[in-house]
Every structure is written in structure tokens, then in C-alpha cells.
Structure 1
Amino acid sequence: MKNSYKDDNFGSRIANKAKARQAIQERIKARPGPGDPEFEKIRAEREAISAARQQRLAERKAEKEEKLAREKAEREAREQAEKAAREARELAEKEEADRIADEAIALLAEQKAARDARYAARKARKGGKRARKAQVQAES
């Protein structure tokens, strides 16, 4: 089978092209123009579609902004809760450290008192002037 256009000569191809161009032009001219009621109907439909599209876009934008605001509020609330928990934990740790430090100070004071008592007892056993002075200090 041969392609039909190969059998045509150059002149017939030019003529076919001109006919196709003429058909396209006639189809364009046949379309309704600005004053035509059909044209006005189509334009009104397009405007309605455009208005509906704009409304949907505005609704989506409002929903997105609302979602972002809600997420921001949730994030801020979560951060506040974390901050409060962190502060409470730090306060508890500080109180624990203070308690341990107080216990260490009390233990050191107790150890010093015991050491001083042993020292005073040793001096008292050995006797002498210093021993009596140490005994007087230990009693007071």
C-alpha cells in the first residue's frame, strides 16, 4: 500500500492545505462574538467557574491559616509545658544538691567535733598545762 499523499502531486497538496486553512478560518468566524447571546452565556459560565475557583482558593487559604495558627498554639502550649517541667526538674535537682551539701557540711562538722574530742581526750590523758586548757575548751 502506498501512502496517498505520495501519489498526489505538488499542486494538489497546496490546494488541500488551502482548503484546510479556509475550513479553520470559517470555524473561527462561526464562533459567537462579543455581542452574541451565546458568547455572553459562555462568558458568564466562565466567570461563574472563575468565581467558584477563587472562593475555593480563599477557603483553602483560610483553612491553611487556621491550621497553622492551631499548630502554632499547640506548639507554644507544648513548649510552655516542657519549660515548666524543665524548671520543676531543675528546682528539684537544686534542692537535692542543696540537701546533699547540707548533709556533707553536717557530716564534716560532726567529724571535726569527734576529732577535736579525741584530741582533747588524748591531751587530757597525757596531762599538763595544755591538757587542762584543752579540757576547759572542750567543756565550753
Structure 2
Amino acid sequence: MRHARNNELTDRRSAASDAKAYLLTAYRAAKTAAERSQAARQAERIALVEARDARHAERERVKNEERTRRETLAVQEQAAIEAAAAAEIAARQSAENARISRVVEDEAARKAERDRRYAARKARQA
């Protein structure tokens, strides 16, 4: 006899009140059930954020190590270039010194040959 045609105002009010109470009870039950799953979802989100932060920190560490490695290699390459340049300059200087000494020796040999010819000519004249 729930849906009788003869509903009075008080019957309708009590039915509305019962429906509201039922909805409130259902809402509270759903809210307590959702709180458990919400806590689980929140914990999962926190775990995801921590994992993402850990991955980000690892990427930054790897980038810093790579940057440090590149800088070290650049410094080593620069030192090697400077050492090669210094060695090349020393080799050029050594070659220049050798050339100068050969020129001086050749000049001395030419002068000695000239002096010998001069002495031979004087010896023939005398």
C-alpha cells in the first residue's frame, strides 16, 4: 500500500523525509567506502610523484656527469692541442737552429776553401 491514490500531505512529507534519510545514509556509506579507495589512490599518487622525482634526479645526475665528462675531455683535448702546438714550435725552432748552424758551417767551409785556394795561389806565386 505504498502507492495509494489517497496521499495526504503528511504522507508525502514522511515519504520525502524517508527518501532524504535513505539518500543521506547511502551518501555516508559511499563516502566511507570512497575514503578507503581515495587513501589508496592518494598513496599511489604519492608513490608515482616520488618515482617521477627519483627519475628526474637520476636524469639530472646523469646529465651533470655527462657535462663534467665533456668538460674534462675538452680540457684534456685543449691541453693536448697546446702540447702539440708547443712541440711543433719547439720542432720549428730546432729546425731553424739546425738550418742556421748548417748555413754557418757552410759559410765557414766556403771561407776555409777560399782561404786554402788563396794560400795555394800565394804559394805558387812565391
Q: How many residues align?
A: 95
In the TM superposition, residue 126 of structure 1 has moved relative to its aligned partner by 2.1
Find the counterpart in structure 2 of residue 119 from structure 1.
Answer: 117
Partner of 1:4: none
Aligned twin of 2:92: 94
CA distance in 2, matches of 1:72, 1:104: 47
**2-structure distance, mates of 1:118, 1:74:** 64
Distance in 2 (CA, whole Å) between partners of 1:125 and 1:68 is: 83
- Show CA shifts across 1:7-57 (max 9, x none): xxxxxxxxxxxxxxxxxxxxxxxxx9xx72221111111111000000000
Give the superposed CA RMSD: 1.9
1:79 counterpart = 2:77: yes
**Stretches of structure 1 lacking an aligned partner (at least 5 in a row):** 1-31, 129-140
1:41 to 39, 42, 48: 39
Higher RCO (CA-CA < 8 Å; seq separation 6+): 1
Q: Distance in 2 between matches of 1:69 and 1:108?
A: 57
Please list every run of at least 4 consecutive aligned residues from structure 1 whose deviation after the TM superposition is greater than 6 angstroms. none
| More displaced 10-residue stretch of structure 1: 79-88 or 109-118 | 79-88
Distance, in Å, in 2 between the alignment partners of 1:86 and 1:125 is 57
Partners in 1 of 2:73 and 2:105 — Cα distance? Answer: 47
Percent identity over paired residues: 13
Q: Deviations over 1:56-110 (max 9, x none)?
A: 0000011111111111111111111111111111111111111111001100110
Query: Which of the numbers 105, 108, 117 marks the counterpart of 1:107?
Result: 105
Letter of the 1:104 counterpart: R
TM-score (norm 2): 0.69
In 1: Cα distance, 2:57 partner to 2:42 partner: 22
Partner of 2:19: none
> How many angstroms apart in 1 are the aligned matches of 2:73 and 2:123?
74
1:36 is paired with a residue of what secondary structure?
helix
Question: 1:62 and 1:86 mapped to 2: Cα distance?
Answer: 35
TM-score normalised per structure 1: 0.63
